Amino acid sequence: MTPATVLAVRTSPHAHAPRSVEKIMANVVFALLPICVYAVWLFGISALALLIVTTAAALATEQMFCRAGDKRSSIGDFSAVITGLLLGLTLPPALPLWMGGLGAFIAIGPGKMVFGGLGFNVFNPALVGRAFLQAAFPVAITTYTPAKALDRFTEFIPSTLAWPFMKAAPITEWMVKVKVDGFTGATPLMLQKFDHVTTDPWSMFLGERAGSAGETAPLLILLGGLYLIIRGMMSWRVPLAMLLSSVVLAQAFHMSDPARYPGALFVLFSGGLMLGAMFMATDPVGSPVTSRGMWIYGILMGTLTVAIRFLGGLAEGVMYAILLGNALSPLIENVTQPKTYGERRKAVAK
Amino acid sequence: MTAEKQAVTITADTHPFLNGLWKQNPVFVMVLGMCPTLAITNSVRNAISMGLATTFVMVVSYGMISAIRKLIPKQVRIASFIAIIACGVTVVDFLVKAISIPVYQALGAYIPLIVSNCLTLERAEAYAGKQPVIKSMLDGLGMGLGFALALTCLGMVREVLGAGTFLGYPVLGSHFEPWVLFLLPPGGFISLAMWLLFFAWRKERAAKLAAAEATQ
């Protein structure tokens, strides 16, 4: 008996060009690479080790789950590489490496593979991993180090080399050694929120500031995003809607009380807004496919980001905004179904 | 086929005590009584106290329910069961308060809530309301201890990972970095999921082995 024709079941996007999931994913990796290189230049070998650990752990977890589920290995589709890189880029470079590895395991395991792998996950896996780390190790994940520290290419930040499951070494001595005067270990967002010190948006645009490894280079993130949009591999609606809505809302807040709320440029270039809007909110799995839906989804996330930053207790809100957006996207998709040709609106019962 | 066979073994062959403790474990098999399971398993001490309190309520009230089961009119049986269980809960409430104030404060509203625990009412309706006194009390004891066992399993994971201690004694050394998440509500869901996964995996493996043996 001959087996029935095997149809390849692929996850969206179902593109008709000679283009596959692997190709698009590989292009996303290309777009991320400059950001990674810049992160390593700013934060040295600690950031490099973190990126390597998260990516390797993501790949190993994917392989392990494929094996356990008797499925064909899916590490060749680059999606685990993207998750690992994105997770590494959203973490502070001083984070102990074992926490980065654990985050990658959570991201790929419970965040993606238990739902059935690529295309079935509800949330962006990298952000699931980061949310787990944020809830599990609230101190370690808010310990930031300055960019361009001395000896960053020859010496690790002491906290990164903690033994697995053990506490990290304090970095106070190291801070003195690298001669960073007056650095309080806070990102511009934290400074603004808790100490009311606003950092100059131009220096933030160049990325020479404390922060997560990959969120400090808005220019490179923009270029990477534009590359993907121009090649038609990413929707332009989601990042535009998210950035635009957060800028407009932030400016409105700023005009109502300039002393308390920072301006639109500050909001745009600080924290992970740019990275989140370009590379995480646009994840085709977690976002709606209708174009009206994409606008609603983007605006929702932009609004939530500004609301959490300005009105909530946290300094940064991009992560939770995107996770909430992911959770709502099936609903958004449902209510924005386009009218099929020839369909008439249902008669209203009188 | 297997479901039928299982149902038979559970109702007829299994001893009522072992049935509750393992075969039909309230948390890991029936997934009942989730409210205390998720809410107060953040330490082993709380988990054990909650389990024992529930066991006491179940044994005492099932004995009473079973003794007067023929006097209770069918139409008002649920209300009668709740009234009897509430008596047991009141006793436990005072007992815990007398034994340890810190435990009483940690358990808080969850002691009065034993009365509305799905598990207590389900066993009264399904078992104690129909079976003789000794068997009902054994069922209550088995179910209660099974519940306590499950809570302790969860409490163990959450306390060891979340604070690095077991029953308050440090077990993982002073350098262990605690996973604060496990003391928070999500930790309850995550550790319950991990235990359910473990049992599901065991069951699947046992079924596979049995199937392999059958074909040989």
The answer as to whether A344 is a domain residue is no
Final residue of a domain: which of B120, B153, B186? B153
Among A160, A119, A171, A166, smallest CA distance to A287 is for A119
How far, in Å, CA of B205 to CA of B64, rounded?
41
CB contact under 8 A, A166 and B180: no
Give the number of domains in chain A.
Answer: 1
Identify the residue among A130, A166, A320 best suited for mutation to test binding to B, counting B beta carbons within 10 A and taking the highest: A166
B106 in the same domain as B200 = no
pLDDT category of residue A5 using cuts at 50, 70 and 90? low
How far, in Å, CA of B54 to CA of A295, rounded?
52
How far, in Å, CA of A84 to CA of A237, rounded?
25
Q: What are the tokens at A59?
A: 């790949």
B181 in the same domain as B88 = no
- ipTM > 0.90 for the complex: no
Amino acid at site B9: T
Say what the pLDDT of residue B63 is. Answer: 94
B177 in the same domain as B137 = no
B144 in the same domain as B74 = yes
How far, in Å, CA of A107 to CA of A84, rounded?
8
**pLDDT (average), residues B186-202:** 91
CB contact under 8 A, A136 and B172: no
User: Which chain B residue lies closest to A136 (C-alpha atoms)?
Assistant: B181
Say what the pLDDT of residue A36 is. Answer: 92
pLDDT category of residue B5 using cuts at 50, 70 and 90? very low
How far, in Å, CA of A289 to CA of A294, rounded?
7
B48 in the same domain as B29 = yes
Using the Cβ of A197 and the Cβ atoms of chain B, whether some distance falls under 8 Å is answered with no
The answer as to whether B1 is a domain residue is no
The answer as to whether B208 is a domain residue is yes
Residue in A110, A135, A166 nearest the CB of B175: A166
Using the Cβ of A206 and the Cβ atoms of chain B, whether some distance falls under 8 Å is answered with no
The answer as to whether A193 is a domain residue is yes
Most confident of A70-74, A200-204, A208-212, B58-62: B58-62
Say what the pLDDT of residue A4 is. Answer: 58
Final residue of a domain: which of B123, B153, B183? B153
| Chain B CB contacts of A96 below 8 Å | 177
pLDDT category of residue A182 using cuts at 50, 70 and 90? low
More confident residue, A285 or A15: A285
- The H or E element that residue A136 is part of is helix A125-136
* Range A320-348 burial, b when 16+ CB lie within 10 A, else e: bbbbbbbebbeebbeebeeeeeeeeeeee
Taking any CB pair shorter than 8 Å as contact, residues of chain B touching chain A are 172, 175-177, 179-182, 184, 186, 190
Amino acid at site A124: N
B95 in the same domain as B27 = yes
Q: Number of Cβ pairs closer than 8 Å across A and B?
A: 28
Q: Is the peptide bond before A13 cis (omega within 30 degrees of 0)?
A: yes
Give the number of domains in chain B.
Answer: 2
CB contact under 8 A, A166 and B182: no
| Chain B CB contacts of A163 below 8 Å | 175
Task: State pTM to two decimals.
Answer: 0.84
Q: How close A164 comes to chain B (CA, Å)?
A: 9
The answer as to whether B10 is a domain residue is no
Say what the pLDDT of residue A350 is. Answer: 46
Residue in A132, A136, A166 nearest the CB of B176: A166
The answer as to whether A2 is a domain residue is no
The answer as to whether A158 is a domain residue is yes
Q: What are the tokens at A275?
A: 């990275």
Final residue of a domain: which of B126, B153, B180? B153
B194 in the same domain as B112 = no
Helices (H), B68-184: 77-99, 101-107, 118-123, 133-163
The answer as to whether A15 is a domain residue is no
Say what the pLDDT of residue A1 is. Answer: 45
pLDDT category of residue B3 using cuts at 50, 70 and 90? very low
The answer as to whether A237 is a domain residue is yes
B176 in the same domain as B149 = no
Orientation angle between helical segments B133-163 and B185-215, nearest 10 degrees: 120
pLDDT category of residue A3 using cuts at 50, 70 and 90? low
- Can you tell me whether residue A345 is helix, strand or coil? coil
Among A274, A320, A322, A276, smallest CA distance to A297 is for A322
Contact A301, A320 (CB under 8 A): no
pLDDT in tens, B24-59: 889 988 888 888 899 889 899 999 999 999 999 999
The answer as to whether A246 is a domain residue is yes
Q: Is the pLDDT of residue B171 over 80?
A: yes
B171 in the same domain as B148 = no
Using the Cβ of A131 and the Cβ atoms of chain B, whether some distance falls under 8 Å is answered with no
Q: Is the pLDDT of residue B7 over 50?
A: no
Tell me which residue range forms the domain holding B196.
164-216
**pLDDT (average), residues A189-214:** 75
The answer as to whether B91 is a domain residue is yes
Residues ≥6 apart with Cβ < 8 Å to A1: none
CB contact under 8 A, A135 and B186: yes
How far, in Å, CA of A317 to CA of A265, rounded?
16
- The H or E element that residue B165 is part of is strand B165-166
Say what the pLDDT of residue A127 is. Answer: 94
Q: Is the pLDDT of residue A18 over 80?
A: no
pLDDT category of residue A43 using cuts at 50, 70 and 90? confident
Q: Is the pLDDT of residue B11 over 60?
A: no
pLDDT category of residue A167 using cuts at 50, 70 and 90? confident
B170 in the same domain as B118 = no
| Chain A CB contacts of B179 below 8 Å | 136-137
Tell me which residue range forms the domain holding A168.
21-334
Pairing of strands B165-166, B169-170: antiparallel
Q: Is the pLDDT of residue B9 over 50?
A: no
B108 in the same domain as B33 = yes
B206 in the same domain as B149 = no
Chain-wide mean pLDDT for chain B? 88
